[in-house]
Structure formats: C-alpha cells, structure tokens
Amino acid sequence: MQKHPKRFLLVIGSLYVFVDEGRLKIIYQEGRKKIAKFMEPFDFKEDENKFRINGLLGHPQIAKKNRTYSSLFINQRYIISDVLFRAISEAYEGTLMVSKYPFFIIFLELDPSVIDFNVHPKKLHVRFEKVDSIYNKVYNVIKGFVEDKFIIKEAKYISAELHDFIPKEEKKFAEITETITEIREKEVKDINSTQELPILPEESVQLNLDDQVIRDKSNKKLPPEAFLRGKYIISENFPKLRLISHTGQLNNKIYVVLEGINENNEEGLFILDQHAASERISKEKFLDAFETSKMSKQKLISALKIEVSPSERIFLDSNLREIQKLGFSFEYFGGNTFILREIPTIMGKLPNINIIKEIISDISKIGKDKSFSDMKEEIINYLSCHKSIRGGDDLSLKDIRGLLTELAECKDSYHCAHGRPTLRFFSYRELDKLFKRIV
C-alpha cells in the first residue's frame, strides 16, 4: 500500500503552504495579490465518527473562474470529487458572484472503510459508501464556517487598499526614505535663522464658475447651496470639479459616499452601492416571508386577469402554494388564464400588468427543469432584484438613512442577492498613503 507523506510543501500558483499532519501554514506568498490575507483557517472534528475536516477557506474576493485552483485531500491523499466540490461550492451560496468558484485547501480524515479509492487508475477519484451522508456533513460544516467568517465577520474584509491605484512612477517615489517634507525641513534648518527669506508673490488662478451648470433633472428651482454644488469649476490644465450632493449620492445615482468607523476603530470613507444594498434587504424580507408564510400582502381593488403560455400555466399550477408564500395570490381561472388578487406589500404600488407577466415568465424559466424548492433561492434573488432601488434612482436623505438602517439589521449586510459587495471602506490612513503623508 502506498504511503503518503504527513509533512509536505503544497504549491498552488504563487502560494506556498506547509502541511504538517493536516495543519496548514502559509509560509510564502509571491506576487502583488496577497491571497494569504484572504484565507481563513478552520477545523472540525468528530472523534466518535472518525471524521475530521480542516484547512483554509478563501474569501469570495479571491474566488476563481474554475475549480482547478482548489485542493482536496482525503487521508493525506490528493483526490478529485464532484460530490465534495459541489457540497463546498453550495455552502458558499449567496456570497459568490455568478460563474465563480470558491478557492480552498481542505483535508478530510475519514474511516478508510467508507471510501473506495479504486475507481480511477491514478486513484484520484473516490467513491463514498454513503454519498448523501458525506455531502450533508461537509456542506453543513463549511456552511457554518462561511457564515461565521464571511458573513457575520465580513466587516474585516470590506476595507480597500489604495496601493494598487497608485501609478508605478509614484510607487517608486514612495520608496525613497526621505519624504519631500523631510527634505524641506532639513533645508530650512541649514539656512541662517537671521537670514530673511524672500517673499514670493501669491499666484492667483482665475476660475470660471459660469460654465457647465448641472441642473436638477426635474427642473426644480434649486436653493443657492444646491446651485453652487451643481456648478463645475472650470480652469485650464485643471480637472472639472464640483462638490457632491448634500446627500452624498454621486451623480451616477449608483453610489453613496459616507464616512464612519470600521470594526478596527479606523475612521474613513464608506461607499455604498444603493442597488446592492436594497437588493439584500429585499432578499431577506422575501426569505423570511417564505419561511414563515407571513409575507405582508396588499389586496388589489380590481383583480387582474392574466394570460400565460402553456408552460407558464404548468409551472404556476404546480407551485401556487409556494408562490403564495411570496405574497402573490393567484387563482386558476381556466385555460391559460389566472386571476391575481394580491401582491406583496414590498412591491409598493400596483405594478403594470406587463411587469407581472414578465415576472411570471422569468420565474417559470428559472424553475422549468427543477422543483420550486430546488430553485427557491434563485427565484427569490430574481424577485429581490426586480423590487429593489435601481441604479439611477434619486434618493433623499430620508431614503438613504432608511436604507442604511435596514441594511444594518440584515443577517448578511455585506453582499447583495448575487454575491456582490454592498459596502467598501477606504481608511483615512490609506488616503494618507496615497497623498504621501505617510510612506
């Protein structure tokens, strides 16, 4: 029987990991992308079942385009297993963007009697005695750690480093041991204190405040402050600049600039993606309503008669109870016709009948090949996206405050329904580095 080393060096791209009887330690990291800081160690053990799973789980920020980057070992032997890869990937659900795979290095210790290594000439593929049991165990363990490290404690990962945005020539300059300030201070000390320094005339720049006025889209009469905020400062050899709105919402109506303190007590700027934040809030409301069957509904004054395609009729007819949990009360009328009597309160005012038809068509396509329960998450993601504040929506101070308050109450405040970030943080310290206040 072939023996496998208990101590070895694992090299994955630019990542060097020392393995000692299943314990992992990253000992070297090449390249600019610091993968190591996005890896979290974990360990779970059940002595009575001869089961142990441990290793390193990668944060969604370092997710890959395919699964070949990740490594799985069973009883110190490198293996390939579709069952285990699927269990681990599905445990990351909700934190990964579409078509991305988690990056991980995982070691499993199992009772040898429940594994068959002889299903492939190179013994890379394995077969398990109880597939469902091993799938559920791995899924639940990884899911627990993902929720703890990358959802509950996600705040530690929303900080962004500005180093990658600094031009190369500036980075070289930053490596000089003396800053410009230090050099100037040294020169001043060398000058005789009694020597009078020449007074240099102040240079003035003529700024044109009359050009490129940005008017309110609704053509409302703006107060003086808003009028000044909407004007660009125009000057030759200088960028066109103006103040951001009093709400912090940027002109593209996608991002909101905030300031605050992160979990490490660092002050800085937060940037909020208004659609991603709203989508997360909507998703958790839909999920909670589905699980508790307590979705708040609004009854339509006049019921809507909706014609659907034969395939949509089959989908609706088979899933009326589940769809009702989401707040849509449909009744079968006959043929390919349904009556819609109630919609979720979360959807606001009565939507256009064409929008309702579009929703029915889209969720029917999502669930056509699988049961509603299998596709529940994807259907809820779709509805959350459809309901949410959009990029381009103008938000008031009250809207933004409400958005932040509701986002703070979410179980996962840091990812939209499709895994994109809702918030990013730039510390004042990173800004100081960018402006060479600290080197």
Which of the two residues, 178 and 143, has the higher pLDDT score?
143
pLDDT digits (tens, 9 = 90+) for 175-184: 443 344 444 4
Contact 247, 397 (CB under 8 A): yes
| Alpha helix ranges (H) inside 329-390 | 353-366, 372-387
Which of 12-21, 82-91, 399-408 is predicted with the least confidence, judged by mean pLDDT? 12-21
pLDDT digits (tens, 9 = 90+) for 17-65: 666 655 555 544 554 456 778 888 899 998 787 899 998 899 998 898 8
For residue 102 the two structure tokens come to: 């988690």
How high is the pLDDT of residue 393?
92
Locus of tokens 């441990």 = 54
Locus of tokens 């937060």 = 270
Cα–Cα distance, 416 to 413 (Å, whole number) = 8
How high is the pLDDT of residue 273?
96
Contact 372, 319 (CB under 8 A): yes
How high is the pLDDT of residue 185?
46
Q: What is the mean pLDDT of the chain?
A: 79
Looking at this protein, which amino acid is placed at residue 115? I
What number is the average pLDDT over the span 419-431?
A: 92
How high is the pLDDT of residue 428?
93
CA 56 distance to own-chain centroid: 20
How high is the pLDDT of residue 395?
94
Cα–Cα distance, 19 to 6 (Å, whole number) = 7
Which of the two residues, 304 and 35, has the higher pLDDT score?
304
Indicate if the pLDDT at residue 200 is higher than 50: no
How high is the pLDDT of residue 30?
52
Which of 116-125, 127-136, 188-197, 405-414 is predicted with the least confidence, judged by mean pLDDT? 188-197
CB neighbourhood size of 57 (10 A) = 23
Indicate if the pLDDT at residue 328 is higher than 50: yes
pLDDT digits (tens, 9 = 90+) for 246-276: 899 999 999 999 999 998 899 999 999 999 9
Q: If we measure between CA atoms, which residue out of 85, 71, 73, 84 comes closest to residue 21?
A: 73
Locus of tokens 């080393």 = 5
Which of 194-203, 243-252, 289-298, 376-385 is predicted with the least confidence, judged by mean pLDDT? 194-203
How high is the pLDDT of residue 187?
45
Using a 10 angstrom Cβ sphere, with 0-12 exposed, 13-18 middle and 19 or more buried, the burial of residue 210 is exposed
Which residues on neighbouring strands pair with residue 340, listed in sequence order? 304, 330
Which of the two residues, 386 and 108, has the higher pLDDT score?
108
The rounded percent of the chain whose pLDDT value lies above 70 is: 74
Element (H, E) at 298: strand 297-307
Looking at this protein, which amino acid is placed at residue 352? N
- Which fold, 7-152? Ribosomal Protein S5; domain 2 (3.30.230)
The CATH architecture one would assign to domain 278-387 is: 2-Layer Sandwich (3.30)
Cα–Cα distance, 359 to 364 (Å, whole number) = 8
Q: Enter the DSSP assignment of 264.
A: T
Which of the two residues, 232 and 120, has the higher pLDDT score?
232
CB neighbourhood size of 58 (10 A) = 21
Locus of tokens 């799938």 = 135
Residue boundaries of the structural domains of the chain: 7-152, 278-387
Domains 7-152 and 278-387 share a fold: no
Which of the two residues, 231 and 180, has the higher pLDDT score?
231
- Using only C-alpha atoms, the chain has a radius of gyration, in whole angstroms, of 29
Which of the two residues, 260 and 372, has the higher pLDDT score?
260
What is the pTM (predicted TM-score) of this model? Answer: 0.67
Pairing state between β 71-74 and 104-109: parallel
364 — pLDDT class (breaks 50, 70, 90): confident
pLDDT digits (tens, 9 = 90+) for 334-353: 898 999 888 888 776 666 67
14 — pLDDT class (breaks 50, 70, 90): low
How high is the pLDDT of residue 156?
80
